[in-house]
Amino acid sequence: MWGEECAASWLADIGFEILARNVRTPHGEIDIIARQKGLTVFVEVKTLTSSENFFPEHQITARKREHMFNAAEYYAAENGIDHWQIDVISVEGKPGTKPFITHFENAI
């Protein structure tokens, strides 16, 4: 998906190591798993063509937050990861344009 590719490239450009993408757990999918300075970051990517009246990050409902937390917690436990957080990256745009990226750190 274009938005996830943009987010992964952007994270790599700012010094994150991309560990995995589209990881399935019993609690849902994790879009990107990255690491920087010993911290593992589970990233949810939200993409929209325009945020004129609606922002991609507003798509994170209480239920979605719960699924994201449970998926990250499961993956961390299965892989012995002690230091982690969940971030949300909003990607606005469409293929062929330069994306506008907003990074919400430790969002969940």
**What residue ranges do the domains of the chain occupy?**
2-104
Instruction: Give the other-Cβ count within 10 Å of 90's Cβ.
Output: 24
pTM, whole model, 2 decimals? Answer: 0.90
Domain 2-104 falls under CATH 3.40.1350.10: yes
Each residue of 1-27: pLDDT tens digit?
899 999 999 999 999 999 999 999 999
Residue 23 pairs in a beta bridge with: 30
pLDDT at 55 over 80: no
pLDDT at 106 over 60: yes
Q: What is the C-alpha separation between 5 and 17, in angstroms, rounded?
A: 14
